[in-house]
Structure 1
Amino acid sequence: MSYSQLLIVEDDFVCQHIYLSLLNEYQPVLAATAAEALDCLSKQPFHCILLDLGLPDKPGEELLPLIRRNPLNGNTPVIVISAHVDEALGQQCLALGANQIYVKPLLPTMLRRMVESVLVH
């Protein structure tokens, strides 16, 4: 699994630092905005995408259909991690193509476990 490519779409600096340090063996690529994420998604396939919903330029839930239509990453597992998810928004994200939904904050072991679970399948 050391060659798995992971796209982290997160605008919060503290969360970025935590994700990068905990998931560094997965060759993480960081995008702080939806525009940066779309640019990354157009250049290479990823094995997993971590997606925050509270992005500065576009809500993450609006990014989900664009990910699913992306020729390189349309089937890539997407894990939504956000502090702002209620039941209705969670259901909307699942309907739009998210594979899993988690509410921040996450324990480090939980973060690693959920990434490993989608990379194994």
Structure 2
Amino acid sequence: MDRSGVPCRRQHRPAAPPTGGEKVSKQRKGRLTPRGWLRLLFGQPPAGMYRRPAVYMTGSQMEIEHFKTIRTYDENKLCLELYGGVFTVYGDGMQILSLTAHRITLRGRFVRTDFSDDV
């Protein structure tokens, strides 16, 4: 009722358009605490990460890490056995610059590479 004693009807206002505040509250829920952030930063890497092969190429040099053995090598083809497959590099005038137990560095003109799951 209003002041005159006559029953009144309440008018419903339409809902206000979203302002984006809903997104902010969701983002805050997903935030990391400083402790959680440090735990992720300094946590242990996934199992097997350090045995995964890696190939780096800059200009006329290529470096391949984490291989098992060299299957074949000549100036046009290098075939390496990796943990989980065979990696082959084709090129022209390839030379081995350095060779360690798990890393090889090559120089030359690289044409293509192939990977096969067959060991």
- TM-score interval (norm. to shorter): under 0.3
- By percentage of residues, which structure has more strand? 2
TM-score, with normalisation over the residues of structure 1? 0.22
TM-score, with normalisation over the residues of structure 2? 0.22
Tell me: higher relative CO, structure 1 or 2? Use CA pairs within 8 A at least 6 residues apart.
1
- By percentage of residues, which structure has more helix? 1
Larger Rg: 2
